[in-house]
Structure 1
């Protein structure tokens, strides 16, 4: 399932505000075009009336038709004047148009002729008949020219509005960026209430209040956990150590029940190991990389130390080893990496069958190094592999003793070193764990 794409609130606000202004401007523009066209139609119809009156009233024996010709040429009007069926006069460019578009009834009419729409007018008086036509295109163009300036101004206003919205909304939402930065700065060591500069947005105030309340509860929970960790370390470790000592005494005093006592001692040892692992998990914060002191150290040397510590365990199971390692110095906390590697080697030995094989490899890359361990086994399902790393998870049907915390601890340690830990099935039949660590 694809992750949902995030949406910028700032962009959405600018987009919504600007679209509202554009819609309002376009509606105004269309209304202006409509009213403008209506006004032009009325004016040109009045001009037709005026030209018709002038033609009827003009003494054709005098040179008074010049003004009429100027009007007809300026407004692209074509006229004819008849007395009965005799043509008395017509506009100069009448031969360029189809005079069949002339009105056959008195008044104004729309006529379709020669592939375009015309406005026609006819008037009769004292036996004279005046017919005038004009292409509607002329009126539409005049209307568009009159609103073109408004459209240009509207475009400039939209550009200015976009700029002002971008500046103003960005300034108004600056408090969100401050809020986000303050939240990002919070850690287990700093859970103080978040304070924002005034005036604060009304919509943001409840979020700030609830978040500060959550931080307060989280701080109390962490304090309780720290107290529990300290108390558990003292209250549980001491009795377990005392039990171990008493078991040693009982084994010497009652050798006939030594086998039963060894079973009890293994259980106590396992309980001690679980306790120590829990304490390690409680102390590690994978988000706080600054708490880890790092220095240049040899990863091969740390691996060999962990292997030597577990050599008796491996010999007991008859585990065969193959190590393709070489000196490799990286920036790390040697103690934590030792704990991580020891846990993973311990797991590999535990879950490898008798006389099985464990292999450790190093891979040196440009900016990272890869530490890899894999073992033989009976094979794992994809579901089992996905659950490895969960706290206390152990594969069902496996009689191997373990706490189920080794991989969880390793994951936390690798996160503290800004690395990655990947788990997959091994070609040897068991499990392959690959750690990728940055060199610096």
Structure 2
């Protein structure tokens, strides 16, 4: 019972370290904080009621995996219905717009009232149903047939309340080589689909070094705004790691991440608004930066938590948790550098020196403070060689913090001898 309570405390950000089933001072202090913030008293002693109260506090109660029916082929559209004007406007002499077979994802779960993005912005009308959304996507050859496939992380909105029947999940749309991307739940090994409350940003890489594409998806969990309260109610969840198998399947290997061995949480992890992969420690294997954690890969699909290496975040007791990020070797020394946007800041680059992972510099890019000081949000980033000179450049998508998501710009930084300008 104490072990289960420790797992829940970590999910709610009352961190107790690695669960061990022992009645420790850290566990006692975390439970004390839990009751204080719930305006309840606690006598400092363990009882079965503590576990019962923690279970009642859960915002995520859906299972971590389920049958293939969660990602089954629903009603099928034989063609994506596009207006002629839309097609003619998008087609160019050097490419044509093909109609792709696609399937419908639906929901019949009634939504709950919610507050978003602030505790003052609360719904007054009937919110209707939780609505499915193809929120993030990634491409890769997931079944090893040499064709590019599509992976979509489906999310149900609104995402900041408790749901019972609509788990977030990844659907793989396999390329048949005939202009069709076909929803293929059978790609999952063991005939089970991994489920979460909110799967978010995705990254594709060969994490187990078998020459096939793998997939990592960061999680957001539930961050519930409560009317009239400054503090949110949180319930976080493990990230998702899917590794390729020899027979062209994708297998849930989330337990190979340090801290997630038994369905637990990475130490001090909360949520991931940004997720990227690349060789950060210069050993030839893909690593992952997601949320406020740095995961170093060993080439077998196993990851160790090296978050202590990260630069400081916006608070002295936290590591950098980027709102947007990308990994590329900007200075050409063979090590992956991380460009990141921290809340209320601009863009900084955590850059290696002389082919060594540590120590690193953490310098801010020279750029205009759009939308007023502290009001710019970099919502996404990517990198690539835009000008064809052989080094990585940076692209950032920005918007306003207030009014929320109103306005947008694309910023391009060209790499000039390791400097992003």
Shared fold per TM-score greater than 0.5: no
Question: What TM-score comes out, normalization by structure 2 length?
Answer: 0.22
Question: What TM-score comes out, normalization by structure 1 length?
Answer: 0.21
Q: Which has the larger radius of gyration?
A: 1
Greater strand proportion: 2
Greater helix proportion: 1
